[in-house]
Amino acid sequence: MVLGALDRPVVRFSEGGLAFEADVCKGHKTGHFLDQRDNRARLRKVSTGARVLDVYACTGGFSVNAAAGGAKLVHRVDVSSPALAAASRNMALNRSLPQVRRCREEDTAGDAMAVMAGLTRSRRRFDIVVVDPPAFASRRAHVPRALRSYGSLTELALQLVEPGGLLVQSSCSTRVGADEFESAIRGAAERSGVRLTEVARTAHGVDHPVGFAQGAYLKAVFAKVWPLHR
């Protein structure tokens, strides 16, 4: 909730030393998903030379961090064209960094599942695929369906990850537990005939303290993707 009047709803701020803008009135949530800050910083450290697919990119927090970490390409996918335009502006705000200037940018506006299937049909491959969807389960009764959707997203993402590449998948559904989320990902890996090596299991940043069970809503898995027989 915003109390009072704002001369300018677009606020500029820094995350991990990178510049961002957020529309605090019209944007999703606060205008920027601050809860993913630590996960983005982790991605930045492993992005050198990578082709990164940022699915559900929103305002591009993961893409900007990947570019700052030396990614050679970021491909953002989101159903919202205004979000993709904001993501592109956020990249532009960081062009003073030579690695961001060198990073190629691509955008596809559309439904994440359809876009990923299309990229697979076009034989595209990426070194890192980030999948950060909106919440899928607002009630306990929705959990089984949400887990199936997480599994389907994993299957689609795994077709796009180069062997030896990295899958980063998160869930912000409060009602989905970390263990069941992880098992949905593992089940999808088995069905896809790949082996996952978990690199990290993370949550929201330290500025999102968990004072009650439902406060622990964000779960993320970083996993290397390998062919089954290796």
Ligand X SMILES: C[S@@+](CC[C@H](N)C(=O)[O-])C[C@H]1O[C@@H](n2cnc3c(N)ncnc32)[C@H](O)[C@@H]1O
126, 161 Cβ separation under 8 angstroms:
yes
Whether 172 is a known active-site residue: answer yes
Output the CA torsion 185→58→44→118 (10° steps). Answer: 60
The residue from 20, 56, 181, 217 that contacts ligand X (CB under 6 A) is 56
- Using CB under 6 A as the binding rule, whether residue 126 contacts ligand X is answered as no
- Using CB under 6 A as the binding rule, whether residue 20 contacts ligand X is answered as no
Question: Minimal distance in Å, beta carbon 4 to ligand X?
Answer: 26
Interface pattern 139-178 for ligand X (x via CB under 6 A):
---------------------------------x------
Residue whose CB is nearest to ligand X in the complex, by number: 58
Dist. CA 220–CA 213, nearest whole Å: 17
DSSP-assigned letters across all residues of 91-121: HHTTTTSHHHHHSEEEEEES-HHHHHHHHHH
The residue from 21, 31, 33, 194 that contacts ligand X (CB under 6 A) is 33
Report the DSSP beta bridge partners of residue 167. 129, 223
Dist. CA 36–CA 34, nearest whole Å: 5
- Using CB under 6 A as the binding rule, whether residue 36 contacts ligand X is answered as yes
Tokens 């510049």: give the residue.
19
- Using CB under 6 A as the binding rule, whether residue 65 contacts ligand X is answered as no
Task: Give residues in contact with ligand X (CB under 6 A).
Answer: 28, 33, 36, 56-59, 61-62, 78-80, 83, 111-112, 132-134, 172
Residue positions annotated with a catalytic role: 172
